[in-house]
Amino acid sequence: MIREDLLENKKGFIEIIAEKFWKFFSSVKLAVVLLIILATVSIIGTIIQQNESPDKYLREYSQSTVQLFEFLGFFDMYHTWWFVLLLFLFTANLTVCSLDRFPHTWAIITAPLKPIDDNMLKALPFRKEITLQGDVDKAMDRSASALKNHGYSYIESKDAGGVQLLTQKGVYSRFGVYITHVSILLIFIGALIGAFFGFKGFLNLSEGEASKVVYLRNEPMWDQIMDSLGIAKSPVIHDSQEGVPSLPLGYYVRCDNFDVDYYVAPSGMPTGMPSEYHSTLSIFNLDGQKILDKRIRVNGPLTYHDVTFYQASYGTVPDARGKVILNIHKKSDTQSPGETVYVELGGSVFVPSIDRTVKVLGFAPFGMRNPSTGEVQLFKSDNEEYINPAVELEIYNGKKALYQTTILKIDSGRPNMPEDYVISYGGYWGTRFTGLQVTKDPGVWVVYTGFIMLCFGPLIAFFGSHKKLWVRIQSRGSETIVLVAGSANRNRIGFEKVFNKVVAEISG
């Protein structure tokens, strides 16, 4: 074919190749083949664990297998060049299929309603001939009201033989397929934008620590390319001591506090089940001025200047000295917030508002108070989690020790507060760090647009139907012949019901 075309000088070589390329990619069969390949290949990445450390793989598989899998890209399968190529082919196929068929669909959508002759009417899938007594006008009235009753607005067309009423509904349902395909394309484009211009990073901050950089798992591809081409210097810093690339934020982010809340059983006793992980983060500009703060939790991140901070994990800072946060207020004074003090373990602080010195004797991560006896028992928690911290206090007036008491984070009994003030637990600060996932994704709104379209496109494609009706009215002596005919491109059974109803209403 190519040789013949070339010989006859009908088409240029590139044109022929382009045509073949187009024909290949506009095939639905190719779509099915690509879907089968994508489905099959995706399974591999679910059987072989992705992105694990090399020694974990060496424990599971032999050296040669690990090398083979690495070569094939099985350890980060969904980002290998051949998988991405498959996705590209899929998207190209989808795009070409849509572009190829759209002009024809557009022609159908924009085609004006035209009257058709009797032969064509008789060839339509739904047709019925009705004989009515009376004249054409009566038949017209009946037909018009029947159509109106079912929501069809019509146009009239008069010709030599009689009159035709033409109507259609649901033309725009033909867009459904294209909306669906475009939405997938948008998702793909959005993902690419995110890969090129976005990043995924992490940041561990101890309570009280601030950072003006974030550590990256992957450098934005755009910056990498621009840098290697010498066009623009990448903002990513590579020679940090940590060995992980970092990106300056342009502001400081600080962890003010991290804590875990645990579920409390109906009895009032705290359980070991976490109810919430939360951190309070503050943003400062580079001069040290505070801009804002927010308490973040899992499912409730902080977004600032297109960068989002997610609560991902936490841990204990080794050898850290914690401070107990105490809140003190007078028993009579329930309105004011009272005074808050920070005390190191073993340290003491003078509290002016009550004229007493409070000394912290000890801290335990998990205590429970017997509601009737008031006695506090200490428990071991998994990994020393602060399930219900207990703090032992000694209160002094000057140098004289007055009394000791123990307070808990959740107190189901009454702690011993013999004087006219209450000391309550405010927190244990400084021994933990919060693990934040930090991401920037400029493409996410493109992806979300694709998502929304992908929710509606298929519904329009499957449940919308382009329906057409023709009513041909001709007089034959004292009678009038009404020929009702129609077609629908989808949901024919439903259309048949409507068709029969219209016929019944015209017949009277």
Partner 1 sequence: MNSSLLFSIATLSYLFAMVLYIGYLAFRKKGIGTTATIVTVFGFLVQTAALLLRWRESYQMDIGRVPLSNLYESLVFFTWSTVMIYLIVEFKYKTKAFGAFVMPVAFLALAFINVAGISSDITPLVPALKSNWLFYHVLISFLGYAAFGVAFAISMVYLLMDMEDRGSATNLYVGLAVIVVLASIGYYMASLGGQMKTAFWMGIGVLILAWFVYLIVAGARNKPRVFLFWSFCVTLAVSLLVAMGIDFVYLVSFQHLAEGESFKKHIFEGTFLNASPAISIISWLVALAFFSFVWSKGMGLKKLLKPYIPAQNLLDDVTYRMIAIGWPLLTAGIITGAVWANSAWGTYWSWDPKETWSLITWFIYAIYLHSRYVRGWKGTQMAVISSVGFLAVIFTYLGVNLVLSGLHSYGGMN
* Least distance to partner 1, CB of residue 47, Å: 6
Q: How far is the CB of 339 from partner 1 (least distance, A)?
A: 32
Helix (H, G, I), strand (E, B) or coil at 292: strand
Q: Which is nearer to partner 1, 50 or 397 (CB)?
A: 50
Task: Report how far residue 214's alpha carbon sits from residue 438's, in angstroms, rounded to the nearest whole number.
Answer: 7
- State which residue, 29 or 233, has the beta carbon closest to partner 1: 29
Smallest distance, Å, CB 468 to partner 1?
22
User: CA 134, 137, 141: angle at the middle one, nearest 5?
Assistant: 105
Q: How far is the CB of 383 from partner 1 (least distance, A)?
A: 16
Residue 195 gets which letter from DSSP? H
Picking from 428, 378, 375, the residue whose alpha carbon sits closest to that of residue 405 is: 375
As measured in angstroms, the least distance from the Cβ of 79 to partner 1 is: 9
Contact call for residues 200 and 218 (beta carbons, < 8 A):
yes
Q: Cα-flanking dihedrals φ and ψ of residue 55, to 5°?
A: -70, -25
Closer residue to partner 1 in complex, CB, 155/455: 455
**Of 462, 463, 460, 465, which is closest to residue 169 (Cα–Cα)?**
465
- Distance of CA 387 to CAs 46, 104, 151, 266, 269, Å? 36, 67, 65, 16, 11
Of 375, 400, 402, 401, which Cα lies nearest the Cα of 390? 375
Report the residue number, 301 or 415, with the smaller CB distance to partner 1: 301
Task: Give CA–CA dist 394/380, Å, rounded.
Answer: 24
Cβ proximity to partner 1: between 35 and 286 the closer is: 35
- Give bridge partners of residue 104 from the DSSP assignment: none
What are 476's two structure tokens? Answer: 């034959």
Q: Which is nearer to partner 1, 82 or 448 (CB)?
A: 448
In whole angstroms, what is the distance from residue 223 CA to residue 197 CA?
Answer: 8
| CA 408 – CA 398 distance, rounded (Å) | 25
**Distance of closest approach, residue 493 Cβ to partner 1, in angstroms:** 8
CB of 311 to partner 1, least distance (A): 8
Nearer to partner 1, 71 or 334 (CB): 71
Distance CA 66, CA 59 (A): 10
* Alpha carbon distance 481, 127 (integer Å): 13
Handedness of CA 389, 392, 395, 396 (dihedral sign): negative
DSSP character for 36? H
Q: How far is it, in rounded angstroms, from Cα 66 to Cα 88?
A: 28
Specify the residue, 63 or 372, whose C-beta has the smaller distance to partner 1.
63
Nearer to partner 1, 78 or 284 (CB): 78
Q: How far is the CB of 345 from partner 1 (least distance, A)?
A: 28
CB of 470 to partner 1, least distance (A): 26
Shortest Å distance, C-beta 35 to partner 1: 5
Amino acid symbol at 194: G
> Given the complex with partner 1, which of 42 and 289 has the nearer CB atom?
42
Residues near partner 1, by CB under 8 A: 28-29, 31-32, 35-36, 38-40, 42-50, 59-62, 65, 77-78, 191, 200, 263, 266, 273-277, 297-299, 301, 308, 310, 312, 437-439, 441, 444, 447-448, 451, 454-455, 458-459, 462-463, 493
Between residues 213 and 354, which has the closer beta carbon with respect to partner 1? 213
* Cβ atoms of residues 133 and 478 within 8 Å: yes
Say how far apart CA 44 and CA 82 lie, in whole Å. 13
**Virtual CA dihedral for 111, 169, 160, 139, nearest 10 degrees?**
180
CB 251, min distance to partner 1, A: 19
CA angle at residue 473 from 469 to 477, to 5 degrees? Answer: 160
